[in-house]
């Protein structure tokens, strides 16, 4: 009889655990590395909007819980923080854990220092970092973004040569009002 009670108790636990596991798709997956990367960004350049808004998991039920974030399959895919008074330098490697990002937009802020490294963001399509205080050169890894459609880096303090962007997907390119030299990309779409 004692064995039968233990078996019933074990089956009850398994049933309860199965019910919990069945809820995971409803609740959504949680990627702590993405949250940590975004908190690193918030703590480096954040405005009061980010401190009050960015708490808990960024994505839940495949929906964003944070302002400026869009989610897909539980992952952060858009980071759009335009004109919210961000100040300071971007953390050097914060984008390393946002590998499914397709849109990065931080226009009209006061972000300083070098442009972020985008080398591991193979699906990145849109980069909008215009009207900030970025300095230095355009990182060469930007030319390796094969999905890149639009890039706006105008009105910063960039200098040096324009890298040889040759992505066939590139339809918009703006690096005006910097101290850059070299030709504008000559993709088929941009020649039309």
Return the ∠ at Cα 38 (arms to 27 and 177), rounded to 5°: 135
- Asked if 10 and 54 sit in the same domain, the reply is no
**What token pair was written down for 164?**
């040889």
80 and 20 together in one domain: no
This prediction has a pTM of 0.83
Same domain for 155 and 80: yes
Count of beta carbons in the 10 Å neighbourhood of residue 171:
14
In sequence order, what are the residues at sequence separation of 6 or more whose Cβ sits closer than 8 angstroms to the Cβ of residue 96? 37, 117, 120
Assess whether 136 and 186 both reside in one domain: yes
**59-115: pLDDT as tens digits:** 988 889 899 999 999 999 999 999 999 999 999 889 999 999 999 999 999 999 999
Cα–Cα distance, 121 to 117 (Å, whole number): 9
Question: Are residues 22 and 83 located together in one domain of the fold?
Answer: no
Q: Say how many domains are in the chain.
A: 2
Kindly report the CATH number assigned to the domain that includes residue 175.
3.80.10.10
- In which domain, by residue range, is 46 found? 31-191
Residue 125, φ and ψ in degrees, nearest 5: -110, -30
**Residue 152 predicted with pLDDT over 50:** yes
The verdict on 177 and 111 lying in the same domain is yes
């Amino acid at each position: 009889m004692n064995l039968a009670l233990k078996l019933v108790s074990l089956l009850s636990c398994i049933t309860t655990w199965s019910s919990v596991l069945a809820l995971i798709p409803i609740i959504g997956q949680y990627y702590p590395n993405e949250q940590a990367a975004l908190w690193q960004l918030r703590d480096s350049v954040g405005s009061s909007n980010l401190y009050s808004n960015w708490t808990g998991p960024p994505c839940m039920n495949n929906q964003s819980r944070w302002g400026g974030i869009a989610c897909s399959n539980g992952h952060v895919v858009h980071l759009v923080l335009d004109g919210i008074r961000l100040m300071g330098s971007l953390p050097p490697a914060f984008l390393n854990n946002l590998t499914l990002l397709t849109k990065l937009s931080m226009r009209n802020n006061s972000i300083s220092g070098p442009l972020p490294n985008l080398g591991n963001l193979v699906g990145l399509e849109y980069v909008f970092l215009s009207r900030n205080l970025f300095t230095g050169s355009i990182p060469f890894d930007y030319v390796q973004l094969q999905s890149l459609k639009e890039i706006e880096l105008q009105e910063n303090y960039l200098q040096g040569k324009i890298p040889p962007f040759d992505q066939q997907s590139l339809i918009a390119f703006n690096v005006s009002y910097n101290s850059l030299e070299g030709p504008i990309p000559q993709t088929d779409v941009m020649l039309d």
